[in-house]
Amino acid sequence: MNMQKGNISVQTENIFPIIKKFLYADQEIFLRELIANAIDATSKLKLLSNSGELKKDTGDLTLEIILDEEAKTLTIRDKGIGMNEEEVQKYLNQIAFSSASEWLEKYKDDASIIGHFGLGFYSAFMVADKVEVNTKSWKPKSQPVQWVCTGSPEYEINEIKKKSRGTDIVLHIGEEGKEFLSKHRLEELLMKYCRFLPIPIKFGTRTETEEVGEGDKKETIKKEVDNIVNNPTPAWKKNPTELSEEDYNAFYKELYPYSSDPLFHIHLNIDFPFNLTGILYFPQLNNSFEVQKNKIQLYSNQVWVTDDVKEIVPEWLTLLHGIIDSPDIPLNVSRSSLQSDSNVRKITGYITKKVADKLHDLFKKDRKEYESKWRSLGVFVKYGFMSDEKFAEKSNKFLLLENVENEFFLLDDYVEKVKGTQKNKFDKVVILYTNNKDAQDLYITTAKEEGYDVVLLDNVIDNHFIQQLEYKRQDITFKRIDADTVDNLIETDEKKESVLSEKESETVKDLFGTLTKEKGNVTIEIKPLSPTAPPVQITKPEFMRRMKEMQSMNGMNLGDMPDSYNLIVNGNHPLVAKKLLSAKGEKQSELAEYFYNLALLNQGMLQGKGLTEFINKSLDLIK
């Protein structure tokens, strides 16, 4: 055959500049596309072998990536079906004519073919000044051919000598792509894009050590072995019955080498109404809250697509880690981002249901084990409750409240537990909670002495969570334990008798009024509390405190919200009713100030010079 020349069939002379600048967001995508094409060629050969059309053994099908820094070339070599001259003319010279569509039509039951668009090959020109394709078809008596193009619509086809079946794509790397002549850079890209492709990929060799001999004659020898950079059979492509818990954890470590073991996993496997496989892991959050948007990776037929999966995974599910693989997720022409359609919405719903079902199953199977993981799981469940209505509906089967005694309750069970003692005059069940068990111990102790129960809600999202829960459950209300005195938190019509006369109450109020007149927005109340309750307490109004906390968490600007608090004096405490009222002059003022400082100290509000003076005063009293 004589050398031929011709023109690639394109609509415009400017097609290559368009491909270089606009088809792909990143130059590096070229390597994924060319290797994906090589995988397709190999997968097609395996199909031919399985169908009996290929009469001899396929042999070793390992792909090779060959870097020649001196020659400035990068070669992608496969041992797949190859092409003859007619196929080269058809598939390389007509942009956007992909052979994948023909194979998918012919072998409808096989989902292993990656390509769809026929543009991937031309990504080579983003980094190469010249591209050579040396190829030989699997068909008997095929003549190997070479296709050469320098990034213009002109090409050449020549006959060549090539003994082995398959295709070598040789990229002559130009100035714009010189970073891809770095071994380290290529290893980085192979790990990112190709680590789970279904055919072994070799990139150079590596040194292994091996001990031989016995006893005194034992020695360590080094040998060079093929450096296979991918795992062709990742866990998510296997049947769950083949995998142990150790296998799942090992795969998690493969994905996230420096992470703690996950709490548990969900193996996704569905073929109707769409194809989807994958494994999602619940990481150990340890009561922290950080949405990491790159911890779930999207693959299409084991080809890495993106780690930005917000189109198919709602934000609250991005707390999970793992892999989702689906050939049915619509991608844009460069296979680098998602295009929304009904399948995407169905996939989102499917994943949400699987997650809810898994949590319920875990709760039913081993409630104690589930409770032991609640510090991490609670963050996820509460976030889902706030974000997804369908998940919220299912969560009543596994959403827990934990009290300060480390007892766990489903919400309905907890409401049933406390409704007899913690129902206010509006017929709402009052759920008392603490967000800092140690700092609010005095308030907790007082509540428990009154026969009340206190739950622990100390996560950064709990402020939002209780707002949502109150909105969805009109029969309950949450009150933080230090928001008021216990009798006011429950708001019953029950009245307690005061041991102070009206005149004595006014005297006490005046004493503390003098102390706090320059302290800001302070409301002073004299209340007939239990004699065992603290003599003086500082409380912060629930509504105002919630607003300030939400403002801080969301970075909202609501203006200068006043830092107000209530100073509650227990008129029935012996130190107030007897000691304080019996003191005279300066001693009375000093004693009132001491009680006030004790209350400030309990709220962490006594600092700086005031704290130093209080410590010195306490030491003087001991002396």
Nearest residue to 177 (alpha-carbon basis) of 120, 230, 130: 130
**What per-residue confidence (pLDDT) applies to 18?**
62
Q: What is the pLDDT of residues 501-520, one digit of tens each?
A: 888 888 888 888 888 877 76
d(CA 336, CA 392): 33
Task: Examine domains 235-366 and 497-541+549-623 and report if their fold is the same.
Answer: no
Average pLDDT over residues 609-618: 83
Counting residues of the chain whose pLDDT is more than 70, the rounded percentage is 84
Least confident of 228-242, 484-498, 546-560: 546-560
Q: Is the predicted pLDDT of residue 529 greater than 60, yes or no?
A: yes
Say how far apart CA 244 and CA 467 lie, in whole Å. Answer: 41
DSSP state of 63: E
Lowest mean pLDDT among 49-58, 160-169, 190-199, 355-364: 49-58
**CATH 1.20.1300.10 for the 399-494 domain, yes or no:** no
Residue type, 34: L
Does residue 23 carry a pLDDT above 90?
Answer: no
Residues 74 and 38 sit within 8 Å (Cβ to Cβ)? no
CA 146, 62, 110, 236 torsion-angle sign: negative
Q: How much is the pLDDT for 113? A: 42
Say what the pLDDT of residue 419 is: 92
> Mean pLDDT over residues 367-384, rounded?
92
Give the C-alpha separation, 153 to 396, whole Å: 63
- DSSP label of 276: E
Higher pLDDT, 594 or 217: 594
At residue 98, the pLDDT reads: 46
pLDDT at 432 over 90: yes
pLDDT at 610: 81
CATH number of 497-541+549-623, picked from 3.30.540.10, 2.20.25.10, 3.30.1780.10, 1.20.120.790: 1.20.120.790
pLDDT at 429: 94
What's the CATH fold of domain 4-204?
Answer: Heat Shock Protein 90 (3.30.565)
pLDDT number for residue 562: 47
User: What is the helix (H) or strand (E) element at residue 205, kind and residue range?
Assistant: strand 201-212
The pLDDT score that the predictor gives to residue 563 is 63
pLDDT number for residue 291? 55
For the chain, the residue count is 623
List the helix and strand counts (H, then E) for the chain: 20, 22
Extract long-range pairs of 449-452: CB within 8 Å, 24+ residues apart.
Answer: 449/530, 449/532, 449/533, 450/486, 450/530, 451/421, 452/418, 452/421, 452/422, 452/486, 452/490
Residue 6: helix, strand or coil by DSSP? strand
Cα separation, 380 vs 288, in Å, equals: 10
Domain layout of the chain by residue ranges: 4-204, 235-366, 399-494, 497-541+549-623
Q: What is the pLDDT of residues 109-138, one digit of tens each?
A: 554 544 443 567 888 988 999 999 999 999
Answer yes or no: is pLDDT of 230 > 90: yes
| Contacts of 320 by beta carbon, 8 Å cutoff, 6+ apart | 280, 281, 282, 283, 295, 296, 313, 355, 380
DSSP 499: S
The answer to whether residue 2 scores a pLDDT higher than 80 is no
pLDDT at 583 over 50: yes
For residues 220-225, average pLDDT: 87
Which position has the higher pLDDT, 491 or 240? 240
pLDDT band at 430 (very low <50, low <70, confident <90, very high): very high
| Residue 12, pLDDT score | 42
Q: CA nearest 455: which of 410, 402, 393, 378? A: 402
- Determine contact, residues 431/477, Cβ cutoff 8 Å: yes
Spacing of C-alpha 391 from chain mean position: 17
pLDDT of 111 = 45
The mean pLDDT of the chain is 84
Q: Would the pTM of this model clear 0.75, i.e. be above it?
A: yes
Was domain 235-366 assigned CATH 3.30.230.80? yes
pLDDT in tens, 85-114: 999 988 887 764 444 445 445 545 554 544
Q: What's residue 164's pLDDT?
A: 93
Reading the block at residue 14, the tokens are 């400017």
